[in-house]
Structure 1
Amino acid sequence: MTGLEGELPLIKQYRDWIQKSPSENDPDRDRFFTDGVVVLDTNVLLSLYEYTPTARQQVLDALQNVQSQLWLPHQVGLEFVQNRHRVITGRKKALEEGRRILQNKLRDAKTAVKEARSHTQRMLMKYAQDVQASNELDTQISNQAIEELFSDWSTALGNQISKLSDYDITISPGGEGDDVLSQVAALFGDQISDPPHPEKTRQRVEEASRYRFPNLIPPGFMDSGKDTALASSGDFLLWEETIAHMAASTERSHLLFVSNDTKEDWYQPKGEGRDSARPWPALANELRLRTGAELRMETPGDFFRGINRFLHVEITEATYAEIDRAAVNPVEAVITEQDAVSTQPPSGLVAAALDAAGLEESLLSDMDDAAHRLLLLWWLIGATAQLKRRPCLDDEPDVLVVPATRSTAQPDPSWVPGIRLHLGEWPYRSSSWIAPWFAQAVNNASRRDRKVLQTLAAQQLAIETTDRMPDQ
């Protein structure tokens, strides 16, 4: 819709709802790239860890062209530094476990071929009594032929998996060696927000939880079920920071917000004559009412194509493909032992894991060590999911916490030999090492809960041991 200045008051006042969905060909789109404040959501920055080195450098070079317009809200910066280890760990885990997962899948495929052969032979004998055809299948699709065929494929796939180690990102526990962090810090310079006063944060969290979220006012109401009110309010805190910044930026009248997040608390679903989702009109209307600025929201793919179009920055199709892939395939959250001791799991996830395992919450009250209690909780969450005792919840993290291992060498000085567990209840007493937190949980538990814990750990250890065995 054009000529809004001359429109009737009703048309002008509700233009955000009346206008069509934003398009890449909107006549004033270029202003957001050449003269607007550019805010990158946390997921855009974390995606830098997912790109190949070449694509990452192209993306960072492209961002240099809007460097003077970039601004980093405190909420984005906080989420970025807090979550980067999770992303790096998830990437490292995927690369390290690639060969094991490959061998498991190939083993499953070989088993499926043999089962298909046997099924066909049973059908031939049951309905045709065709012994000759059944025997021919043993010759045509012999176990040796299957092994030889899969051996070639295993070598070819394994060689490609091995090459992926070149793309690993390794940093020290203290964060040294994280080139992505250094480059992001240099990119923003001093164009970052100071932390809001704690009282201001409290007020914003209360506004979100008591007024906006119950009334489904964007952004962020889809996160209202998170474990705490503060955790649920991240998107709203980002939004409020951005509004305050735009209100103080008298020289900037356009805001370009870039994010992978297209959930219904940022985007209005299609319908009412629209064939696609669009950013909620209420967001643009609120920004204009409170700051006088215009809002445009874009996904990373559209944003970088816009940089190419309006600022004439060279970005290859391969890099666009990586940007789009990262937008639809975000890195899975991962909880390591280091993360577990300082991360309280969501209460809903704890309840689901305890119920799936058949354990009572009273088990936890017997553990005085808070770190041990958290390790037990995260292990139960991961084990019940791995053993398919329960369905995984949306956005559930992958858990890398194990209670026991089978090895000749002691994995850590604090781990104890398997003989510390109860005779007749733990099948690996002479060939395992037990994590101290698990030993404490087992020895403090009732007889019933003790057996449940050891059975769950033994089943998980059996899977891990099988996965480490060479293919037969």
Structure 2
Amino acid sequence: MKGLFPQYDYSTPTDYEETWKTALFVFDTNVLLNLYRYQERTREELLETLDKLADRVWIPHHVALEFQRNRLTVIAAQGRRFSEIRKVIEKAKTDLTNGISNLQLTKRHTLINPEPLTTGFDKLTSEFLAELDKLQENQQALNAPDPIKERIEKIFDGKVGAAFSTQDEVDKKSKAAELRYKAKIPPGYKDEDKDKDGPDDFYHHGIVYKRKYGDYFVWSQILEHAEKSNHKKLVFITDDAKEDWWKQIDFDGPKTLGPRPELVDEATNIGRLDTFLMYKPEGFLNFANEFLAAKISNETLKEVHEVSQNNKNHNTKNIFNRGAYLVAESAVLLWARSVHEQATINDGLYPDIIATDASGITGYEVKIFKHTDTKNIIEAIKFAAYSIDAYGLTSLNIVFIVSSFYDANGALIKLKNTNLPPLPDNINIIFGEIVESAEGARFEPLHQVQYGELNA
């Protein structure tokens, strides 16, 4: 069976350095539209990264079309935030004034003078609203020249794929998409109900398209371009987090292993690619630091992550109960940032956290330790081992969150007395606890051991 099903093998080593030197980088519509959601610093760092890739960027025609069609909608949504925050402030002022007035302090309690509070609050809100007005002046207007659009058009000048030429061609693609969606063949089937509450059609250059088939239109154009081009390596960057693009499992919380195996299979057999990778925006920028010597700040990575999370929460329902896990993940992230030059959440991918410094790329996988049965620990270690090669990691730390020193010590003793499978020495096991403080939750490591030492 060996070698018969490579699309299902997420442990297959990839030469990331060579891929980043030679691959074609393809961007989804949502990545371009996010530029309107980012602050200026973040936007500029992303655009500078695209400039570094020069003639190795490309977008399908349907991505360009969707960008032009949806650009004003995103700009309008950003503009609405200004009126929404003004309403919140006005309501707060009204509630404060009415609340104090209802207390009738001048009649019932002459010692309490609310005037300093109301005057101070009025001054504070006036200053904030004045600053808000200045910010709004710089907000992209719907009918004004658009420098972001102009910059994107310049970067992708001559790097946009061919359009569908006839209605018959689009109808054939739509029929293929319909059949694929029914069979749950990725990508796009999670958009099957887009036309449930109203018309889904739009018209462009004499051709009628259905919005719900947009993901498949994009994917089919990527495959056609890959088959005809000289590029044998392709990297696709998308902010779509749904399962019809990514292989997702529930492994002590949601984990995304990589692109769906069906996509890898089609990229290899239809697109004739040797290497097909997918990144979310945060992952793309994080690895651009490593392979392009891009200067992406932690602040930018944080904002890109937050925008992606907002998009995900808006478009999808999270089926996993993440409560304590998210607290633990955030605490470990802060700790990792104190150890490495940079560290960022891997946005649902495996491992949870990616950290970089002069020594290379370190992964952190966070687990909630539930009891001292080592079976679950060993399963987690086996599952983690493949990702070292799959993600080009220098080392991988599996972090088990325990409730006490005694749990950590007991688990460590059991592990050392267990016949463990042979695995790479650059896997480390870390036991630690989450400590609550006035500054928030923090991670305190209790035991750290190299996997090879457990078998010593």
Provide TM-score, normalisation by structure 2: 0.59
User: Aligned runs of 1:345-424 on 2, under 5 Å?
Assistant: none
> What is aligned with 1:280?
260
Q: Whose strand fraction is larger, Structure 1's or Structure 2's?
A: 2
Matched-pair identity in %: 23
How far 1:286 sits from its partner (Å)? 1.8
8 Å CA contact 1:270–1:277 kept in 2: the answer is yes
> What is aligned with 2:235?
256
Secondary structure in 1 aligned to 2:152? Answer: helix
For residues 237 and 264 of structure 1, do their structure 2 counterparts lie closer, same or farther at Cα, with a shift above 3 Å needed? same
Secondary structure in 2 aligned to 1:277? Answer: strand
1:15 aligns with 2:1: no
8 Å CA contact 1:49–1:87 kept in 2: the answer is yes
> What is aligned with 1:426?
none
For residues 150 and 272 of structure 1, do their structure 2 counterparts lie closer, same or farther at Cα, with a shift above 3 Å needed? closer
Q: Deviations over 1:103-147 (max 9, x none)?
A: 1244346656788x79xxxxxxxxxxxxxxx99984566664653
**Quick one: distance in 1 between partners of 2:106 and 2:95?**
24
1:191 aligns with 2:166: no
Secondary structure in 2 aligned to 1:276? Answer: strand
**Residue of structure 2 aligned with 1:247, choices 227, 251, 254:** 227
1:265 aligns with 2:244: yes
> What is aligned with 2:176?
207
How far 1:187 sits from its partner (Å)? 0.3
- Structure 1 vs Structure 2 CA RMSD: 3.1
How far 1:262 sits from its partner (Å)? 0.6
**Quick one: distance in 2 between partners of 1:283 and 1:110?**
59
8 Å CA contact 1:33–1:66 kept in 2: the answer is no
> What is aligned with 1:233?
213
> What is aligned with 2:407?
none
1:311 aligns with 2:292: yes
**Quick one: distance in 1 between partners of 2:293 and 2:142?**
34
Q: Deviations over 1:377-401 (max 9, x none)?
A: xxxxxxxxxxxxxxxxxxxxxxxxx
For residues 14 and 163 of structure 1, do their structure 2 counterparts lie closer, same or farther at Cα, with a shift above 3 Å needed? same
**Residue of structure 2 aligned with 1:320, choices 272, 296, 301:** 301
> What is aligned with 2:281?
300
1:289 aligns with 2:269: yes
For residues 154 and 284 of structure 1, do their structure 2 counterparts lie closer, same or farther at Cα, with a shift above 3 Å needed? same
8 Å CA contact 2:241–2:312 kept in 1: the answer is no
Q: Deviations over 1:137-192 (max 9, x none)?
A: 845666646533532442343344234225311353xxx61111111111011111
Task: Compare 194-203 and 37-46 and name the one that shifted more.
Answer: 194-203
**Residue of structure 1 aligned with 2:79, choices 85, 88, 92:** 92
**Quick one: distance in 1 between partners of 2:32 and 2:63?**
9
Task: Compare 76-85 and 43-52 and name the one that shifted more.
Answer: 43-52
For residues 193 and 287 of structure 1, do their structure 2 counterparts lie closer, same or farther at Cα, with a shift above 3 Å needed? same
Counterpart code for 2:219: W
How far 1:39 sits from its partner (Å)? 0.9
For residues 187 and 106 of structure 1, do their structure 2 counterparts lie closer, same or farther at Cα, with a shift above 3 Å needed? same
For residues 113 and 245 of structure 1, do their structure 2 counterparts lie closer, same or farther at Cα, with a shift above 3 Å needed? farther
How far 1:264 sits from its partner (Å)? 1.7
For residues 321 and 275 of structure 1, do their structure 2 counterparts lie closer, same or farther at Cα, with a shift above 3 Å needed? closer
Gap runs ≥5 in structure 1: 1-9, 119-133, 334-472
How far 1:275 sits from its partner (Å)? 5.4
How far 1:317 sits from its partner (Å)? 2.6
Counterpart code for 1:226: K
Secondary structure in 1 aligned to 2:26? Answer: strand
Counterpart code for 1:87: V
Q: Whose helix fraction is larger, Structure 1's or Structure 2's?
A: 1
How far 1:290 sits from its partner (Å)? 1.3
**Quick one: distance in 1 between partners of 2:232 and 2:109?**
75
**Quick one: distance in 2 between partners of 1:51 and 1:232?**
26
> What is aligned with 2:136?
165
- Give the aligned length: 299
1:56 aligns with 2:43: yes
Secondary structure in 1 aligned to 2:249? Answer: coil
8 Å CA contact 1:222–1:265 kept in 2: the answer is yes
How far 1:231 sits from its partner (Å)? 1.4
**Quick one: distance in 2 between partners of 1:50 and 1:140?**
49
Provide TM-score, normalisation by structure 1: 0.57
Secondary structure in 2 aligned to 1:268? Answer: strand
Gap runs ≥5 in structure 2: 202-209, 315-456
Counterpart code for 1:190: G
User: Aligned runs of 1:13-162 on 2, under 5 Å?
Assistant: 13-20=4-11, 27-108=14-95, 138-139=109-110, 144=115, 147-162=118-133
8 Å CA contact 2:60–2:161 kept in 1: the answer is yes
